[in-house]
Amino acid sequence: MILKHTLKTAVAGLETHKSRSLLTILGIVIGVAAIMIVMSLGQGAQNLILSQIQSIGSKTIAVIPGRQPSGPTDLTSLFADSLKGRDLQLLERKENVPHLSEIMPIVFGSEVAAYGNDTYRPTILGVTPLFSDIYDIYPEEGRSFNDDEVKQYAQVAIIGSKIKTELFGDDSAVDQKIKIKGRNFKVIGVLPEKGQLSFLNFNDIIIMPYTTGQQYVFGIKYFNRIIVQTDKEENVPQTAEDIKTTLRNSHNITDFSKDDFFVETQAQALETVANITNIIKLFLAAVAAISLFVGGIGIMNIMLVSVTERTREIGLRKAIGATSKNILSQFLIEAIILTGVGGIIGISLGTIISFGASFALTEFLGLVWLFSFPAQAAALGIGVAAAVGLIFGIYPAYHASRLSPTEALRYE
């Protein structure tokens, strides 16, 4: 009964100063909403990236030049030139990699493409005809190139839907010629609108034979990636080891710590990406949580002001029988109510913004970005908000409970 009365008194005190109460909870609302948005969009990004990696297939292995990055300072190793034509030939030999089913070298970069007076700078990807099977994308208009065109360094190109729109508008692009690095490339196909897939935006890409890309566009003799597919999923680990052995022999490497390449299976890629995105989410959530701390300080300041303004009220309540414990409970409950309401509003606001952002990313950028409600973040937000109210409400409540009724009634 006493608790119920204290609760009603606390609510009445907050309703008396509605504007101040709303301003007090604003910091909590912002903090909890920020945590919700960060965790929700972070989970959506993680799901998107993981689904794109999985879409390539569990039998796929990527061979990447340079040392495997272990930190931000190692990112430059991703642009190494250690994978050459001889490595490709050795990997294609059955005696070296018995379970290899398909192999595809990749080169990529960015160059300006022009048609008439219109120019556009897309990503250029040099591959083999195998790319359609790996990424499950085929020309909507025209055709793909074949193995003979790869061997002949054919100056042919398949363009994404956005490039078609930017350079050709409503006109047909097939059999037209675009200029890249001063050379004419015949457009033989146009891709359907596909959007982002495995770190590539297929709407904004030009695909050509890798030999053509090496010779005429990038002027390089090495590969940026080599993609290998195994005959069976269970042979992926053994194939990865066979690839390492073959390349170490080719590069005369005896100390494994000095590998100038690394091999990544889809399972490893999934684990790596999941770890990275989880770390980023936690970091961003921790940054967002700082606003909760700031909000807690704001609540303490407002509650101290409230104690000062309500000194006569506190004295009157004590004079008619309220104990120090009753006063302490009242002000603690007020602080917890403020932060609790702020937490609920923050969760609601964060959920609405996250859903809107997910919808916009899906609708306008063509990403398969699914909305994810972070239940753990919601529970964390409510828990932290209540803890903030309790912790930062203790001192003002204690200060109020220690007031002498005689001095409080004399307060002007």
Q: What is the DSSP string of 40-89?
A: HHHHHHHHHHHHHHHHT-TTEEEEEESPPP-SGGGGGGGG----BHHHHH
For residue 204, give Cα distances in angstroms to 113, 184, 195, 196, 299: 12, 19, 8, 9, 50
**For residue 412, is pLDDT > 60?**
no
Q: How many CA atoms does the CB half-sphere of 263 hold within 13 Å?
A: 20
Q: How many secondary structure helices (H) and strands (E) does the chain include?
A: 13, 14
- Nearest CA among 248, 208, 269, 221 for reference residue 56: 269
Q: Which helix (H) or strand (E) holds 371?
A: none
pTM: 0.59
Give the residue-averaged pLDDT of 299-312. Answer: 66
DSSP per residue, 253-321: --SGGG-SEEEEEHHHHHHHHHHHHHHHHHHHHHHHHHHHHHHHHHHHHHHHHHHHHTHHHHHHHHHTT
**For residue 47, is pLDDT > 80?**
no
Q: Cβ contacts of residue 158 below 8 Å, gap of 6+?
A: 139, 142, 144, 145, 187, 188, 189, 190, 191, 206, 207, 208
**For residue 49, is pLDDT > 70?**
no
Residue 1 has what pLDDT? 40
**What does the pLDDT look like over 229-260, one tens digit per residue?**
888 878 888 888 999 999 999 999 888 888 88
Q: d(Cα 3, Cα 43) in Å, to the nearest integer?
A: 41
Residue 73 has what pLDDT? 46
**For residue 46, is pLDDT > 90?**
no
Residue 213 has what pLDDT? 95
> Which is higher by pLDDT, 357 or 243?
243
Q: Report which residue type is found at 66.
A: G
pLDDT mean across residues, the chain? 79
**For residue 99, is pLDDT > 60?**
yes
Q: Strands 205-209, 123-127: parallel, antiparallel or unpaired by DSSP?
A: parallel
> Which is higher by pLDDT, 229 or 407?
229
**For residue 308, is pLDDT > 90?**
no
Residue 72 has what pLDDT? 47
Give the residue-averaged pLDDT of 98-110. Answer: 92
Percent of the chain with pLDDT over 70: 70
> Which is higher by pLDDT, 73 or 220?
220
> Which is higher by pLDDT, 145 or 321?
145
DSSP character for 117?
T
DSSP per residue, 139-202: -SEE----HHHHHTT--EEEE-HHHHHHHHTTS--TT-EEEETTEEEEEEEE-----EETTEEG
Residue 311 has what pLDDT? 65
CB 25 within 8 A of CB 296: no
Residue 175 has what pLDDT? 94
Residue 45 has what pLDDT? 74
**What does the pLDDT look like over 161-209, one tens digit per residue?**
999 999 999 899 999 999 999 999 999 999 998 766 656 788 899 999 9
Q: d(Cα 398, Cα 210) in Å, to the nearest integer?
A: 74
Q: Strands 141-142, 156-159: parallel, antiparallel or unpaired by DSSP?
A: unpaired
